[in-house]
């Protein structure tokens, strides 16, 4: 809020990660104000990016990200074109932070049942960490359906029985030592789509806020997400789309194994198992802030501030 008084002025951030980030992708490169970059390495050899001005979300430009097949759909490889936050701007693990971005699916929307991600939030993984770790929050696609998952460490108690009938649908990924919970889906979601989530868990609780994720072919989708990973029931995620509140997620979110880093980070763009054909996504209106009001639309902000969540920070 602009103003000439001390009350009206926003205090300068104490740490680099506390400064708001924004990038509308309107120029020919990443804005210094956005803190983003394309990681040009062998892992992204199937990917490309383009600052273009034809497909936009009401602005002068948008970012096109795409992947092309490098293995003709064969083998167990992956193909990705992801945009990363700068390392020096990553937020400490366990701190609440808000993200927003608009995305549009290029045609055709993938209909395969293997891995497709459009955005993911992860914890840093150090060289001594045992194995790999899936994102603690991810926006995914299967058979053309959009859905969201949260992940945590699989415990022995998770395997002891079927769990609560009223719990959150979960996939007990024994080979990875991780539990993946289904927390939101679009209106076309079917029982077949949810077959991997056959278990139930009480470790992750979802409050349905009345909205559904938009379907991928519906045009531009504006996401707003708050993440605060944590174990011992302290994790917290808020999910909004197109200025509608989708869900509140609380419980065990993320991992605390030895060798993991002290910060969380976000990356977005197409990431899939190796497949035939090209897959493209368009992104616009990226923003990140420690404050909800810098990210949420007016209707969502009013609903969020008015709800009795019990843990809304005063800077919301």
Query: pLDDT of 253-265, one tens digit each?
Result: 999 888 999 999 9
Backbone dihedral region for residue 58 (phi beyond 0: left; psi -120 to 50: alpha; all else: beta):
left
pLDDT of residue 257: 87
Alpha helices in 102-259 (DSSP H): none
Q: How far apart are CA 143 and CA 289, in angstroms?
A: 33
- The beta-strand segments (E) located in 94-203 are 97-105, 116-125, 137-142, 145-153, 168-173, 178-185, 199-201
Residue 8: is its pLDDT beyond 70?
Answer: no
Residue 6: is its pLDDT beyond 80?
Answer: no
Average pLDDT, the chain: 91
Residue 75: is its pLDDT beyond 60?
Answer: no
Helices vs strands, H then E, count in the chain: 1, 20
Q: Check: CB of residue 149 under 8 Å from CB of residue 138.
A: yes
Q: What is the pLDDT of residues 185-224, one digit of tens each?
A: 999 999 999 999 999 999 999 999 999 999 999 999 999 9
Q: What is the pLDDT of residues 97-138, one digit of tens each?
A: 999 999 999 999 999 999 999 999 999 998 888 878 999 999
Give backbone dihedrals phi and psi of 154, rounded to 5 degrees, phi first. -75, 130
Q: What is the pLDDT of residues 263-293, one digit of tens each?
A: 999 999 999 999 999 999 999 999 999 999 9
- Let me know if 212 is exposed, middle or buried by CB neighbors in 10 A (0-12, 13-18, 19+): middle
Instruction: Report residue 182 as tokens.
Output: 């289904």
**Model-level pTM greater than 0.85?**
yes
Residue 4: is its pLDDT beyond 90?
Answer: no
Which residues are CB-contacts of 216 (< 8 A; sequence separation ≥ 6)? 105, 109, 141, 144, 145, 146, 186
- Mean pLDDT lowest among 56-65, 66-75, 277-286: 66-75
- Mean pLDDT lowest among 15-29, 157-171, 185-199, 267-281: 157-171
Q: How far apart are CA 118 and CA 122, in angstroms?
A: 13
Q: How far apart are CA 129 and CA 275, in angstroms?
A: 29
Mean pLDDT of 159-163: 70
pLDDT of residue 166: 75
How far is the first Cα of the chain from the last one, in angstroms, to the nearest whole number?
13
pLDDT of residue 11: 65
**Residue 109 host element (H or E):** none
| Domains of the chain with bracketed CATH | 22-306 (2.60.120.200)
Sign of torsion over alpha carbons 109, 113, 119, 125: negative
Residue 296: is its pLDDT beyond 50?
Answer: yes
């Amino acid at each position: 809020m602009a103003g000439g008084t001390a009350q009206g002025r926003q205090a300068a951030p104490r740490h680099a990660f506390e400064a708001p980030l924004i990038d509308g992708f309107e120029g020919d490169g990443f804005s210094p104000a956005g803190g983003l970059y394309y990681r040009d390495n062998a892992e992204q050899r199937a990917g490309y990016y383009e600052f273009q001005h034809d497909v936009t979300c009401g602005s002068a430009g948008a970012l096109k990200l795409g992947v092309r097949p490098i293995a003709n759909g064969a083998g167990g490889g992956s193909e990705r074109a992801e945009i990363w936050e700068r390392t020096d701007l990553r937020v400490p693990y366990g701190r609440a932070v808000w993200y927003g971005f608009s995305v549009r699916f290029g045609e055709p929307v993938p209909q395969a049942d293997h891995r497709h991600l459009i955005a993911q939030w992860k914890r840093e993984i150090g060289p001594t960490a045992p194995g790999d770790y899936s994102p603690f929050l991810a926006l995914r696609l299967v058979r053309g359906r959009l859905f969201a998952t949260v992940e945590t460490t699989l415990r022995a108690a998770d395997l002891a029985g079927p769990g609560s009938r009223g719990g959150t649908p979960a996939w007990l990924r024994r080979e990875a030592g991780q539990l993946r919970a289904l927390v939101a889906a679009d209106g076309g979601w079917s029982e077949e789509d949810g077959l991997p989530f056959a278990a139930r868990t009480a470790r992750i609780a979802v409050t349905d806020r009345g909205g559904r994720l938009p379907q991928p072919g519906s045009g531009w989708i504006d996401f707003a997400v708050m993440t605060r990973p944590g174990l011992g029931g302290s994790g917290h995620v808020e999910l909004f789309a197109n200025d509608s509140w989708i869900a509140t997620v609380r419980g065990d979110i993320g991992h605390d194994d030895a060798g993991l880093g002290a910060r969380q980070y976000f990356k977005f763009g197409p990431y899939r198992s190796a497949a035939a054909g090209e897959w493209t996504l368009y992104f616009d209106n990226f923003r990140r802030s420690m404050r909800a009001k810098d990210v949420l639309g007016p209707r969502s902000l009013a609903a969020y501030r008015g709800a009795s969540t019990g843990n809304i920070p005063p800077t919301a």
